[in-house]
């Protein structure tokens, strides 16, 4: 398994044919009328019916054998540190296992699990830049880890955030994991960041671990972050009534995570639907905080929202793909021309009582993954973390 960026993106022409169902990641049109994809140099060039596309002289051909295909899943919320190691769980290979769960892009919510992490401005800047640059050069199983998410502290002036932006940092870590947590302080930081062009995310709910902070609905409403991180708690949730208020009044994206409160995730879904804000709902895991590393965490959230939440399964996939890409300006998450060739081949699990993938998800069965492609390169065959997919592709 290649572990470095030098191994991608793919060179040449990739053809995927015999796709049984093509999910787009786009809520406006979650299912595409297509059974084939052409990618060139790791990016999608054409999508359509095989008869209408130029499928000749491919360098690599994948026969989906009728398997459905989804865009690579995006984990909107996780806490990487360095390498494919999490000190929180003292576990190796957790990102590679996430790829086995269909995740091709991960967004850091802060490298806060680094033992002895610095909290002075110079240390925080150095850590963010180092984490970001390391993951630009290191891609476990091809995963794209968008890291470098510095955590704000009370003694940071505006110049700290300006310097972070100048150093190439794109977003800050969860407000609330450091000493900046409450309304006015948080608002000062989100205001600066908005002016400077840094994306802001804000922890919501009880402290994730002794020493971090409680953030309530009033703090979130005063700060108005770009992303209301784990509105269902990380893992301790705010009250259901407060979740409903945030779904109506918080202007940022509404994120639900696997390592949060599952009942609260369903309350948030219902409130977001009532407010006409499904396009603002994002899925993350918060791994490895709260409940540890669960490679199928994103798939499990999709299944939870579709089965217990009643969301049509093809829409549930959009919350972990196109929604995250659009709300967070990521180059990922959609099966559309020009986007990276990040594909998850997945199907109903073998011996599911459902007739197909979408029915399986709506019944609460975790799908099986048969292959994951990132930037046009095959990165896994049959998943090591899902049940076996009913159909799985082959490479010709």
Q: Which spans of this chain sit near Zn ion (rule: CB under 5 A)? A: 174, 203, 234
Q: How far apart are CA 240 and CA 62, in angstroms?
A: 46
- Closer residue to Zn ion, CB minimum distance, 215 or 378: 215
**Beta carbon of residue 229, minimum distance to Zn ion (angstroms, whole number):** 5
Which residues have a Cβ under 8 Å from the Cβ of 28 and sit 6 or more positions away? Answer: none
Positive or negative, the CA dihedral 332, 337, 342, 345 is positive
Tell me the three state secondary structure of residue 182.
coil
- Closer residue to Zn ion, CB minimum distance, 9 or 87: 87
Token pair listed for 134: 């390391």
- Closer residue to Zn ion, CB minimum distance, 58 or 175: 175
**Beta carbon of residue 275, minimum distance to Zn ion (angstroms, whole number):** 23
Gap between the terminal Cα atoms of the chain: 19
- Closer residue to Zn ion, CB minimum distance, 102 or 178: 178
Q: How far apart are CA 266 and CA 255, in angstroms?
A: 12
**Beta carbon of residue 234, minimum distance to Zn ion (angstroms, whole number):** 4
Which residues have a Cβ under 8 Å from the Cβ of 239 and sit 6 or more positions away? Answer: none
**Beta carbon of residue 263, minimum distance to Zn ion (angstroms, whole number):** 18
Distance of CA 238 to the CA centre of its chain: 22
Positive or negative, the CA dihedral 298, 384, 65, 361 is negative
Which residues have a Cβ under 8 Å from the Cβ of 33 and sit 6 or more positions away? Answer: 49
Contact (CB, 8 A) for 276 and 68: no
- Closer residue to Zn ion, CB minimum distance, 69 or 106: 106
- Closer residue to Zn ion, CB minimum distance, 182 or 203: 203
**Beta carbon of residue 255, minimum distance to Zn ion (angstroms, whole number):** 10
Of 18, 22, 17, whose CA–CA distance to 344 is shortest? 22
- Closer residue to Zn ion, CB minimum distance, 293 or 389: 293
**Beta carbon of residue 202, minimum distance to Zn ion (angstroms, whole number):** 9
Of 146, 150, 124, 122, whose CA–CA distance to 133 is shortest? 146
**Beta carbon of residue 212, minimum distance to Zn ion (angstroms, whole number):** 8
């Amino acid at each position: 398994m290649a572990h470095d960026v030098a191994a991608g993106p793919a060179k040449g022409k990739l053809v995927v044919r015999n796709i049984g169902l093509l999910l787009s990641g786009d809520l406006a049109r979650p299912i595409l009328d297509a059974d084939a994809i052409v990618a060139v140099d790791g990016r999608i060039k054409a999508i359509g019916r095989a008869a209408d596309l130029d499928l000749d002289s491919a360098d690599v051909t994948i026969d989906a054998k009728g398997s459905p295909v989804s865009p690579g899943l995006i984990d909107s919320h996780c806490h990487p540190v360095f390498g494919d190691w999490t000190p929180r769980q003292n576990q190796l290979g957790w990102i590679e296992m996430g790829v086995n769960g269909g995740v091709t892009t991960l967004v850091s919510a802060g490298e806060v699990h680094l033992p002895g992490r610095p909290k002075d401005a110079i240390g925080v800047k150095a850590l963010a830049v180092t984490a970001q640059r390391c993951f630009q050069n290191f891609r476990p199983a091809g995963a794209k880890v968008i890291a470098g998410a510095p955590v704000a502290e009370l003694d940071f002036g505006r110049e700290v955030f300006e310097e972070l932006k100048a150093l190439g940092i794109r977003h800050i870590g969860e407000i609330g994991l450091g000493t900046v947590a409450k309304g006015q302080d948080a608002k000062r930081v989100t205001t600066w960041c908005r002016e400077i062009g840094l994306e802001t995310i804000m922890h919501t709910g009880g402290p994730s671990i002794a020493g971090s902070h409680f953030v309530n609905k009033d703090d979130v409403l005063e700060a108005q972050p770009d992303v209301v991180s784990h509105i269902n708690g990380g893992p301790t949730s705010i009250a259901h009534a407060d979740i409903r208020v945030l779904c109506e009044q918080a202007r940022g994206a509404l994120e639900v995570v696997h390592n949060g409160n599952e009942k609260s995730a369903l309350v948030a879904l219902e409130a977001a639907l009532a407010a006409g804000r499904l396009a603002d709902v994002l899925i993350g895991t918060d791994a490895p905080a709260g409940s540890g590393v669960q490679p199928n965490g994103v798939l499990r959230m999709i299944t939870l929202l579709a089965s217990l939440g009643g969301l049509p399964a093809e829409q549930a996939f959009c919350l972990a793909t196109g929604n995250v890409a659009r709300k967070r300006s990521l180059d990922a998450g959609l099966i559309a021309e020009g986007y990276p060739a990040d594909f998850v081949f997945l199907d109903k699990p073998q011996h599911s009582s459902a007739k197909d993938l979408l029915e399986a998800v709506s019944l609460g069965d975790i799908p099986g993954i048969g292959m994951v492609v990132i930037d046009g390169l095959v990165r896994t065959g049959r998943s090591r973390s899902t049940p076996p997919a009913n159909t799985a592709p082959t490479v010709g």
